[in-house]
Amino acid sequence: MTSIKFGTDGWRAIIADEFTFANVRACAQATARYFLDAGVASRGIVVGYDTRFASEEFAAAVAEVLAANGVPVQLCDRSAPTPVIGFNIRRLKAGGGIVITSSHNPALYSGFKVRTEQASAAAPEILAEIEARLPEALSGAVGRMPMDEAKGKDLVRTFDPRADYLRHLSELVEIERLREAGLRVVVDPMHGAGAGYLHELLAGGRTQAIEIRSERNPAFPGMHNPEPIARNLEATREAVVREHAQVALAADGDADRIGVMDDRGEFIDQLRVFALLAYYLLEVRGLRGPIVKSVTTTSMVQRLGELYGVPVYETGVGFKYLGPKMIETDALIAGEESGGFAFRGHLPERDGIVSGLYILDLMARRGKSLPELLEEVFAKVGPHYYDRIDITMTPAERDRIAALLPRLEPQAIDGLRVTGYDRTDGLRFLLEGGAWALIRLSGTEPLMRIYTEVREGEQVQPLLQAVRELTGA
C-alpha cells in the first residue's frame, strides 16, 4: 500500500515511482465514491489532462474507473489547460472534474487534481473525504471498465474542449479592438497545454502573437520546471528582444498561471501583475467587488481596496481556499503569489490565458507600456518590491523547520522591527513601514519558500537572507 496525501492542489508524485496506474486508479475510485455519495455523479464528470508523459493514458485509466462505478464521463479528446477543463465543467453542468496534471512541477512529476461542480479547486474538507476513501481503494477495491465497453455503453464520451472556451473568451473583452491594437506579443506556453489559445484568439488583425515553445515536449527542455518565473524564461526574454515585442505572456504546464515580461525583457513579478489586474478591473473597467488574496501575495491590493472602497479578504495558500472564498463573497478577482488569478464572470479558478488577455486589454485601452502602467499603479499605492527564494529540503530538515516555526518570534529582522506575526499559512512577519516576510513549507514539493515584499528595492535580498538565517537552513 502507498500513502497518498492531497496537498495544496491535489496529489502529485514522481511518475513510475508513486504516480503509477494502480495509484491513479485508486485515486479515481476514491473520488468516484465521493462524487456518488455527494449526489452529483449522475450529471457526469469531466476528465482532462496536460502534455506530460503518458497524461492521456492516465486520464483514460481514470475514465475507465469512473465508468465501472456507473459514473458518466466527458473525456477531453486532447490535452487542455486546467481552466479550460473547468470552463467545460460549468458549460456541461457536470458534477465535477478530474485533471491529470502536475501544473508547474518538474518533468518527473504528474498529478491528480479534483474540481467541484463550480469548477473550483476542491476545498480541504472535500479532499479529506476523498482521502478517507483511499485505504479501501488502495487495498484493491477498484472497478475498471475497458474503454471500448465504456464507450459502447455511452458511459464515456469524448469531446473537444477548445471551441466553446474560445468563444467565451471573445465575450470577456472587445476582441476586435485587441486584434486591431497593433500589439506585438510573445506567447510562451512552455511546452504545456496552453499552446495555441492566445495565438488563435488574437489572429486576424494588426496584433501579432508570436508563439514559442509551443510543441509538446514532456521533458520541458531549457527550464528547471514549467513555471513562468524569471529563471525559466530566458528563451522568452530572447524572443522579446528578437521580435521587438511590447509584452511577453508565459503560462505554466497546465496554463492556470501567468508570467509577464515587458518590452525590455524584464520580468514583471507576480505581485505587480496582481496589482495591474486589480487596477485594470477597478479603474479601467470601472467594476466593483471584493478582492481575495493569499497571505503570500501583495499588500498593494489592500491599498487598492481602500482607494476604491472594496473589501479585501485574505486566505491560506492555494485555490482550495481562494476559490471557495471567491464564491462566498462574489469576488471581482482572486489571486496568489504564484501567478494564479481568477475573475468574476469567468471561473472561481486560476486562468493564465484570461489573465494574459486582460493584461493585453489593459495595454490596449490605456495605450501605454507595462512600465508606464506600473508607474500609474505606484502613483496610487507607492512602489513595492518583491522576491522569493526556494530551498530544497530533506524530510528530516522539513520536519525540523515545521517544529521551529510555531516558536519563532524575532523582535527584528535585518534592522526592521517586527510588528506582528501571522500563522494563517506558514509564518508571516509583519514589519515596520508596511513590509512583510513569510516562511512557508510547500504543499506540493520538498521545498521551503521564503517571500518578502518591501518598499525599498535594496532591502529585498538582505531581508530574504536574514529570514533564511533565522531558520538555520
Give 208-232 pLDDT, tens digit per residue: 999 999 999 999 999 999 999 999 9
From 111, 132, 114, 8, select the one nearest 54 (Cα to Cα). 111
Q: Could you tell me which residues are beta bridge partners of residue 428?
A: 422, 438
Q: Is 264 exposed, middle or buried (0-12, 13-18, 19+ CB in 10 A)?
A: exposed
From 182, 231, 230, 235, select the one nearest 211 (Cα to Cα). 235
Two domains, one topology: 11-160 and 165-381: yes
8 A C-beta contact, residue 441 and residue 423: no
8 A C-beta contact, residue 43 and residue 81: no
From 113, 116, 65, select the one nearest 93 (Cα to Cα). 116
Q: Where are the domains of the chain?
A: 11-160, 165-381, 385-471
pLDDT score for 1 = 47
- List the grid coordinates of 110: 504528474
| Buried b / exposed e along 79-111 (16+ C-beta atoms within 10 A) | bbbbbbbbbbbbebebbbbbbbbbbbbebbbbb
- Relative to beta strand 333-335, strand 291-294 is parallel
Distance of alpha carbon 121 from alpha carbon 319, whole angstroms? 6
First to last CA, the chain: 33
Does domain 385-471 fall into CATH 3.40.50.720? Answer: no
Counting every residue written for the chain, the total comes to 473
From 463, 457, 472, select the one nearest 391 (Cα to Cα). 472
- List the grid coordinates of 362: 489593459
The CATH homologous superfamily for domain 11-160 is Alpha-D-Glucose-1,6-Bisphosphate, subunit A, domain 3 (3.40.120.10)
Rg over CA atoms, the chain: 22
pLDDT score for 444 = 67
- List the grid coordinates of 425: 499559512
Q: What is the DSSP string of 251-295?
A: E-TTS-SEEEE-TTS-EE-HHHHHHHHHHIIIIIS-----EEEET
Distance of alpha carbon 129 from alpha carbon 19, whole angstroms? 20
Kindly provide the residue ranges of all beta strands, DSSP E only, lying in 252-398, ordered along the sequence: 258-261, 267-268, 291-294, 312-315, 333-335, 341-343, 385-392
Angle value at C-alpha 58, between 167 and 54, nearest 5 degrees: 90
- List the grid coordinates of 4: 497518498
Question: Within the chain, which residues score under 70 in pLDDT?
Answer: 1-2, 444
* C-alpha 138: how far from chain center: 29
Distance of alpha carbon 405 from alpha carbon 148, whole angstroms? 53
SS (H, E, C) 8-54: CCEEEEEECCCECHHHHHHHHHHHHHHHHHHCCHHHCEEEEECCCCC
* CATH match for 165-381 among 3.40.120.10, 3.40.50.2300, 3.40.930.10, 3.40.630.40: 3.40.120.10
Distance of alpha carbon 290 from alpha carbon 389, whole angstroms? 30
Distance of alpha carbon 458 from alpha carbon 425, whole angstroms? 27
| Amino acid code (one letter) for 100 | I
From 459, 251, 265, 247, select the one nearest 373 (Cα to Cα). 247
The residue written with cell numbers 508571516 in the block is 428
C-alpha distances in Å from residue 280, one per residue of 49, 260, 377: 32, 15, 10
pLDDT tens digit sequence for 91-137: 999 999 999 999 999 999 999 999 999 999 898 899 999 999 999 99
From 152, 235, 231, select the one nearest 191 (Cα to Cα). 235
